Amino acid sequence: MEAAWNRGDFRGYMAGFKNPDVVFVSGGKFQQGWQGTLDHYIRDYGGSPERRGQLHFYNMKVDVLAPNAAMLIGQYRLVRGTRVTEGVNTRLFKKFHGHWLITMNHVSAYDVTSSASAPEAH
């Protein structure tokens, strides 16, 4: 996923999400499913490598809840020029026909470049 984002392949990034009915929550708002989220990424992050930035996931932990369900929690860092955003990402995975897909994605983020209380990046 990280590699797909960093090369500007938003469809590739979204390939691991349940289409069409994945639930995305970010910035206190629900996105409109898979297509709405893809449209958001293209609109807000597409067009150039500078707008997209470089994404890095770290400190990821997976908890298998059942044979067909798992939860991931981790951190991410997105560097877009001088703007640096970090946050926590929580994902619920379900297994469909032998393949794990993300059915729920929740992101909480903060702007490191404007937050004096932000922790150091890892």
pTM, rounded to two decimals: 0.86
pLDDT tens digits, 87-106: 999 999 999 999 999 999 99
Residue 121 forms part of a structural domain: no
Residue 84 forms part of a structural domain: yes
Residue 101 forms part of a structural domain: yes
Integer angstrom CA distances of residue 85 from 15, 30, 33, 117: 23, 20, 23, 13
Q: Which domain holds residue 42?
A: 2-114
Residue 65 forms part of a structural domain: yes
The proportion of the chain whose per-residue pLDDT surpasses 70, expressed as a percent, equals 93
Count the domains in the chain. Answer: 1
